[in-house]
């Protein structure tokens, strides 16, 4: 068997580095830095080394450089090569290259138990008592402009907790709608399928809009309100405008969509001659089952 050796990262190594990154993470070994951040460091002139056995990459170490500080965003080894001191060897070689670039201070963020923790300690890194905060923004970059076009927005957190009154209704929505959407894996395990649409009814001022906004806040999903008046003013016909609106909404990964005063655009499908809004009702009934 070939002897493991450390060398500089080459672009041809990228696929193998991704494989090593995937092997190094698991629910029990979460990573602070995602794959996109690692690839960004490689793409933007970061410093990187790989550990190879023959032509196979079995480990990688990557760092970003900011002035005289180097942030190590990846230290990973394939499953079969851990516990042999290879992580320490990669760190030592990475440090040599970073020092040559003028780096004076080296830093890394790891979750306790993550791959590489032992290597950092063995090579002289010290832990600091820090409080690390993180929040993942629920919107993808390409969704920001679309949400603005739709007139939607992200609502502040905590609206659900501050929602007072109608405790029975709140408990019902929490159990039947919110929890299955918030934890889909658990819902699937117990065979719970949340409804695609619900109707909140009651006279004005009873909290229908507040409930809808609170659900969006609880899930940290975008809130999009569809206004009948805006559809009516489209000039293309209500049914077509409704279809086009939901086609745009469907490009969002997640969304709570609220149609206020829905009876204005979706009335009874009865009467002679047919009401002009019956086509809108038909369109809405086709949209709801297909909507995610």
- Tell me the per-residue pLDDT of 70-114, one tens digit each, with 9 for 90 and over: 999 999 888 888 888 888 999 999 999 999 999 999 999 887 767
pTM: 0.63
Phi, psi of 83 (to 5 degrees): 75, 15
Domains of the chain: 5-122 (3.40.630.30), 141-290 (3.40.50.300)
Between the alpha carbon of residue 137 and those of residues 30, 32, 101, 134, 222, the distances in Å are: 18, 15, 33, 10, 11
Given this model, what pLDDT does residue 261 score? 78
The pLDDT value recorded for residue 292 is 54
165 pairs with which residues across the strands?
none
Residues of the chain with pLDDT under 50: 235
Per-residue DSSP letter, 107: E
pLDDT of residue 235: 45
Residues 6+ apart with CB under 8 A from 211: 163, 169, 170, 173, 200
* Helix (H), strand (E) at residue 247: helix 238-249
- Residue count of the chain, please give it: 292
3-state class (DSSP) for residue 275: coil
Burial 184-218 (b: 16+ CB within 10 A, else e): eeeeeeeeeeeeeeeebeeeeeebbebbbbbbbbb
Query: What pLDDT does 30 receive?
Result: 67
């Amino acid at each position: 068997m070939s002897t493991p050796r450390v060398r500089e990262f080459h672009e041809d190594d990228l696929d193998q580095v991704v494989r090593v990154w995937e092997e190094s993470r698991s629910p029990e070994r979460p990573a602070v830095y995602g794959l996109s951040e690692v690839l960004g460091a490689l793409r933007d002139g970061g410093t990187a080394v790989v550990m190879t056995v023959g032509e196979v990459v079995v480990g990688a170490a990557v760092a970003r450089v900011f002035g005289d500080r180097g942030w190590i965003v990846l230290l990973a080894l394939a499953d079969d090569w851990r516990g042999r001191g290879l992580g320490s060897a990669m760190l030592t070689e990475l440090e040599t290259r970073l020092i040559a670039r003028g780096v004076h201070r080296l830093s890394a963020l790891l979750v306790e138990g993550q791959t590489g923790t032992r290597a950092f300690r063995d090579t002289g890194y010290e832990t600091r008592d820090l409080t690390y905060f993180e929040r993942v923004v629920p919107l993808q970059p390409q969704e920001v402009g679309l949400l603005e076009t739709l007139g939607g927005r992200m609502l502040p957190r905590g609206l659900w907790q501050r929602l007072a009154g109608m405790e029975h209704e709140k408990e019902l929505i929490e159990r039947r709608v919110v929890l299955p959407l918030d934890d889909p894996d658990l819902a699937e395990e117990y065979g719970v399928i949340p409804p695609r649409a619900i109707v909140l009814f009651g006279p004005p001022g009873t909290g229908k809009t507040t409930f809808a906004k609170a659900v969006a806040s609880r899930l940290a999903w975008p809130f999009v309100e569809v206004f009948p008046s805006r559809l009516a003013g489209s000039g293309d016909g209500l049914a077509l405008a409704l279809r086009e609106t939901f086609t745009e909404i469907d490009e969002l990964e997640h969304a709570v969509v609220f149609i206020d005063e829905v009876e204005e655009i979706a009335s009874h499908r009865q009467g002679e001659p047919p009401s002009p809004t019956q086509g809108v009702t038909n369109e809405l009934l086709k949209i709801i089952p297909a909507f995610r």
